[in-house]
């Protein structure tokens, strides 16, 4: 009997460590999030109410995975080797993947690294002026970044884990 218990404890510790590393990866990326000012923006601002976010690739966007999977969350972050780089996370067939593009734009296929398997559900929410939003960017597009990102991760045998990462 002791052997079965030791095996379960070992598996639980492995799963917990894997989850911890995945959460650290997400935290590290979001702590480095940036919304760079578009190059060539005149000193007086952009015409006709345009914003830097609307004149270039959005610094943060929540969409659906092109492969028909679950949510895909992309954003710009500082990268020691590449300056500003687009990264993201997507849920496909119960697997949470870490996505990395070579530059600012989501051009071509990103490099993909699996972070977690057996994920029942994933939900990203955004906090802006004490209001939770289910989509980003908001319709008015005046704020390139929210005040915080809220991650809700539903895992078997654990339940829903909620994590809020402050961006400001």
pLDDT number for residue 68: 67
Burial degree of 131 (CB within 10 A; 0-12, 13-18, 19+): exposed
pTM higher than the cut 0.85: no
- Using an 8 Å Cβ cutoff, are 21 and 155 in contact? no
What's the first-to-final CA gap in the chain, in angstroms? 51
pLDDT in tens, the chain (168 residues): 444 545 444 444 445 568 899 999 999 999 999 998 754 444 444 334 434 343 347 899 999 877 667 899 999 999 888 789 999 999 999 999 999 998 888 888 899 999 999 999 999 999 999 999 999 999 887 889 999 999 999 999 889 999 999 998
């Amino acid at each position: 009997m002791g052997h079965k218990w030791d095996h379960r404890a070992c598996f639980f510790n492995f799963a917990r460590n894997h989850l911890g590393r995945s959460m650290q990866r997400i935290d590290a990326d979001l702590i480095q999030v940036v919304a760079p000012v578009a190059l060539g923006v005149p000193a007086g601002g952009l015409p006709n109410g345009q914003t830097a976010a609307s004149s270039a690739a959005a610094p943060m966007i929540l969409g659906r995975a092109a492969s028909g999977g679950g949510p895909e969350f992309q954003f710009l972050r500082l990268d020691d080797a590449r300056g500003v780089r687009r990264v993201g996370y997507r849920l496909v067939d119960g697997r949470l993947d870490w996505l990395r593009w070579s530059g600012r734009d989501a051009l071509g296929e990103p490099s993909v690294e699996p972070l977690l398997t057996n994920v029942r559900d994933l939900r990203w929410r955004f906090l802006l002026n004490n209001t939770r939003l289910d989509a980003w960017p908001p319709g008015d597009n005046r704020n390139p970044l929210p005040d915080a990102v809220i991650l809700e991760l539903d895992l078997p045998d654990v339940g829903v884990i909620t994590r809020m990462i402050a961006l400001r």
